Amino acid sequence: MGTVTIGVSIAVPEPHGSLLQERRAGFGDAAAHGIPTHVTLLPPTEVDAADLPAVDAHLTGVAAAGRPFPMRLSGTGTFRPLSPVVYVRVAQGAESCAWLQQRVRDSSGPMARELLFPYHPHVTVAHGIDEAAMDRAFAELAGFEAEWPCTGFALYEQGADAVWRKLREYTFGGSVVPPQALRGVGRSPVS
């Protein structure tokens, strides 16, 4: 059967997802149209195609244990000079993203893996482009704001054409974000 490259992420909903994808392309990032706008939970990971049912079962369990939580993006950041990336910051929901990614990569599951860098939830808006364009992305999106109730995540597969395609969405066990959570009041929605 061979191997496939998968990733798990939280999609940035419309109209924000398309807007950030177009901005990323406008900064000169050639990969922009092949990568849906997202917050990564599992970076590109190669698995045996035969293991996809186990991956699905594992992600179903992670989603069942999760609860909806508020997500808010605000402003920009960068990993330069360590990594040539400019991103939009996750201002609210970072703890929940960290909780999720730990469970997705759990050592007992089919996607166990170590990360090259400590986990830092973000939305990439420029990667591997020239410094002037990186600076432009950082400055032009510094005032970007978006928020939404995060109700799940998705599994993606990277095709031979380098385009990421959604295989399946996973909805959290709870169906509604409590109103107090949207205001940032109350306990962690995923603990």
- 20-76 per-position pLDDT tens digit: 999 999 999 999 999 999 999 999 999 999 999 999 999 999 999 999 999 999 999
Between helix 131-140 and helix 16-26 the angle, nearest 10°, is: 150
What pLDDT score does 67 carry? Answer: 94
Cα distance between residue 186 and residue 181, in whole Å: 6
- 142-182 per-position pLDDT tens digit: 999 999 999 999 999 999 999 999 999 999 994 444 444 43
- Paired strand residues for 155: 8, 168
For the chain, what's the residue count?
191
Cα distance between residue 177 and residue 170, in whole Å: 16
pTM of the model: 0.87
* Closest of 125, 119, 121, 120 to residue 144, by C-alpha: 125
What pLDDT score does 143 carry? Answer: 98
Instruction: Report the helix count and the strand count for the chain, using DSSP H and E.
Output: 5, 8
